[in-house]
Homo-oligomer: A and B are copies of this chain.
């Protein structure tokens, strides 16, 4: 079971080193990011009122870091949902496969960095929430 190996959706603290030269945040694969990184996104310039995400992945793991500004991430595993304010690059949000994810309330200056475990595959996306629940039903 993937979910057992990688664990549940959770915030993971990164290593942070602040000194007179500025802020340095460091994350390592395995230590912080629980999967092999095969793709990354940078999301910025999202207008007020716009939500992004609004889908689940069948196989793809994701790891979200808000590197500037703030954004609210909502995660939903079909049984319960949770909203988290991401406003600090010191933390990453790990989202296992079959997590319905939505990001909204981007601040004007928000920059969201997302790591993904898989290359792009249209077939891996579930864009319909009822279909998401159906597929989870098959897993429960």
Contacts and interface: CB of A to CB of B under 8 A. Distances in A.
B22 A43 contact: yes
* Interface residues of chain A: helix, strand, loop or mixed (majority): strand
Which of A41, A45, A111, A115 has the most chain B CB atoms closer than 10 A to its own CB?
Answer: A111
B28 A38 contact: yes
Say how many copies of this protein the assembly contains: 2
A29 interface: yes
A44 B17 CA distance: 11
Interface stretch (A46-54, A79-87, A125-133): A46-54
Contacts of A59: none
Interface in A95-140: 106, 109, 111, 113, 115, 119-120
A29 B67 CA distance: 20
Contacts of A46: 21-22
Nearest to A33: B40
A78 interface: no
Interface string A13-39: 000001011111111110100001111
A56 to B, nearest CB: 18
A88 to B, nearest CB: 11
A116 B76 CA distance: 32
- Report the 9 A-B pairs with minimum CB-CB distance, sorted nearest first: A22-B46, A25-B42, A22-B45, A37-B37, A23-B45, A28-B39, A42-B89, A23-B44, A29-B38
